[in-house]
Amino acid sequence: MAPSSVVVTMENTKNISLVEVNDLDSPAFRDKNKAANPKRFTKVLLLKAQRTLGCIPKTFASVKKRIALSDEEPKYRGKLYRFIRAFLAISVVALCIEIFAYFNKWELNLVNPWEVQSILQWTYMAWISFRADYIAPSLSKLTTFCIVLFLIQSIDRLVLCLGCFWMKFRKIKPIINEDASDLEDGSYCPMVLVQIPMCNEKEVFAQSIGAVCQLDWPKDRFLVQVLDDSDDEVLQQMIKNECLSWKEKGVNIIYRHRFIRTGYKAGNLKSAMTCDYVQDYEFVAIFDADFQPNPDFLKLTVPHFKGKPDVGLVQARWTFVNQDENLLTRLQNINLCFHFEVEQQVNGHYLNFFGFNGTAGVWRIKALEESGGWLERTTVEDMDIAVRAHLYGWKFIYVNDVRALCELPESYEAYKKQQHRWHSGPMQLFRLCLPTILTSKISVWKKANMIFLFFLLRKLVLPFYSFTLFCIILPLTMFIPEAQLPAWVICYVPIVMSILNILPAPKSFPFLMPYLLFENTMSVTKFNAMVSGLFQLGSAYEWVVTKKTGRSSESDLLAFAEEESKKMNEEKLSRRLSESGLELYGKLKEHEQEIPKKKKANKIYRKELALAFLLLTAAARSLLSAQGIHFYYLLFQGLTFLIVGLDLIGEQVS
């Protein structure tokens, strides 16, 4: 057979026989290929278009099914939702008018009013004149005000980044006194109380108690308090048994349960500090139920107090066992990396003050007592005690090298509730603490920092301008073009700020644009929380325990689990063979059978969905005026709101 021959063999030889083509380079064959390629290319395009069009009904059917099967967001019918819905309705009407004017080629701002004969044209021209004379000036002033806030907040973010860079460049970090650095001889091992507050933490209580009980500290020099606020009797017994098993191993551990559960976490901690034996301890370390500290945690934090009687708090950094679980956890990791690497580190070094993170920190008990102890007046008891301690002159140290493993919320519902509490609580606290701050004996500079930077700029201004500028003003400017929003405000500066935010987590650079869009989407929740906290609305006092999945650390806990699993199983088996153990085992089985398995369903978030359609409506209007950057921003931001509103980000429920 000739070298240039091609043989095509088909299994079905009924209508197709062996074909042999010689001389592939002949002009006739090349012409045939040229003629066939465009046809083939057209067929491919048609097939792809057909598949794309076929996916559209499936997509709408999927969205319709999700909405039908989803749970509605509770208490969504608030004033903010009604405002967004009214804004959306007006925008849709305005878009219809603009489309009608566009296709009729009306440019009535260039026409003499006496030349307009149609009543529709005259009405449209009157609207143009009204918005230019009355609406645009007010909108321009509001836009300028928000841009000024945006620039101030951006400058603050830039200064923090420069401070962090300088600390990295000069290798500045907290130093332990030389005489306190060596703990092997036991010369500095003060009495430490370790507290684990928890409430219905079924998934994580065992790993948290296990990690704390493994802390490398003299057994007679520390006591573990398991502060259980669970309302499930069977779960209470399980936690109590876990404590007993560690007590049998020689760990000083106490199980405490409150009969009157008031004040949430603050009430739990306050109750624990009233115990008589607490006066024997100098420091208290606090870990939430999902935290897993390394064994050397106390050896790396407690020595920072030695020789520094004015230090009231040593705060460690958080790391996350599930930061790569889904897109939501990756975006949270970016935010929290910046918070710890930049905000906490810079404020701790230059100001000796930052907000206590509520966990993975060690307090001097004297500082807690002098500052008034734990109060139940807000949902951010950690920030409350930090502010009061700072007003009493106590200094804080942040150690970025000491890390405690924990878990990020994997579902949008859990993350949204957490963010609502984190942004409503500071506004409650600001209202309560402002008179105390103004009358305190600290310096004017510290007062100004606490009021303007710590509270107003970072807790109030940021959610206010983010929501107002990007979710309200920008869509408005599409329908009122006389008030322009510069491209650098919606594109260039936010991208630069996002790059600065993402620097502490360099592996997250591929998620730069999703991070920017998602942060703008979260501005709705943060703005709503800020308003409810500032004006003490009902939702400001909501406290929902963040859902945990109980993921273990692959690096720190698996080795420990493998070594201890056999011993633990043997001990628990022997204990359960007793009469009380068998009784508990029977109760557990009955409890599991009695509780019906509740079918989970994804939620829909109506505020986010309403804003999604609002931004997409504004994107359609910007398309008519050929505003490139504005159109693309509105389009992608609207799609992000749509994804979040349908609960398509984070943990998915089948």
Which amino acid appears at position 505 of this protein?
A: A
State phi, psi for 78 to the nearest 5 degrees: -100, 180
Catalytic residue among 228, 229, 384, 556: 229
Tokens representing 520 are: 């703008």
* Rounded Cα distance, 344 and 396, in Å: 10
The verdict on whether 133 is a catalytic residue reads: no
The Cα 403–Cα 556 span in angstroms is: 12
DSSP letter (8 states) at residue 359? S
Query: For residues 91 and 103, what is the distance between their CA atoms, to the nearest angstrom?
Result: 18
Alpha helices by DSSP H, listed for 186-263, are 205-213, 233-247
Are 128 and 113 in contact by the 8 Å Cβ rule? The answer is: no
Closest CA to 106 of 495, 97, 243: 97
Compute the distance between CA of residue 297 and CA of residue 256 in angstroms, rounded to an integer: 24
> Angle CA(87)–CA(89)–CA(90) in degrees, nearest 5?
65
401 included as an active-site residue: no
In three-state secondary structure terms, 363 is strand
Show Cβ contacts of residue 561 under 8 Å, excluding neighbours closer than 6 positions: 552
DSSP at 364? E
Asked whether 619 and 85 are in contact (CB, 8 A), the reply is: no
Instruction: Indicate which residue of 382, 384, 556, 647 is catalytic.
Output: 382
Summarize the chain as % helix, strand, coil (round to 5). 60, 10, 30
Task: For residue 611, give the amino acid letter.
Answer: L
Whether 358 and 336 have beta carbons less than 8 Å apart is answered as no
Residues annotated as catalytic are 229, 382
